[in-house]
Amino acid sequence: MADVCVIGGGLAGLSAAGATAAADRWIEELVLARWARTGARKLSLGNRQRLGLAAALIAEFAASLISRERLYHGLAQRYVPAEQTG
């Protein structure tokens, strides 16, 4: 089940390390660590729902990081002289 979260994080734009860290965080936060090595099809309906929630939270987290990065990059290009941005 952890692999589903990591793959979801990668598809959302996180690096492999970032996807793994996000998956670990949400698996722990949603009390799914006990089933981390269990295949998604073998989970109970309730745990499948929590897996879906974890995947959604990882994707939301990735989207907020990407948005923030784009915002800062855009601000730097607009307000910092080119010789200071490298």
pLDDT less than 70: residues of the chain:
61-86
| CA separation, residue 38 to residues 33, 47, 60, 64, 66 (Å) | 10, 11, 24, 29, 30
Give the pLDDT of residue 78.
Answer: 59
Please report the pLDDT score of residue 31 as a whole number.
Answer: 85
Dist. CA 11–CA 26, nearest whole Å: 16
Give residue 66's pLDDT.
Answer: 57
DSSP string spanning 45-73?
Answer: HHHHHHHHHHHHHHHHHHHHHHHHHHHHH
| pLDDT at position 70 | 60
- pLDDT computed for residue 79 by the predictor: 60
Report the predicted TM-score, pTM, of the whole model to 2 decimal places.
Answer: 0.59
pLDDT at 54: 84
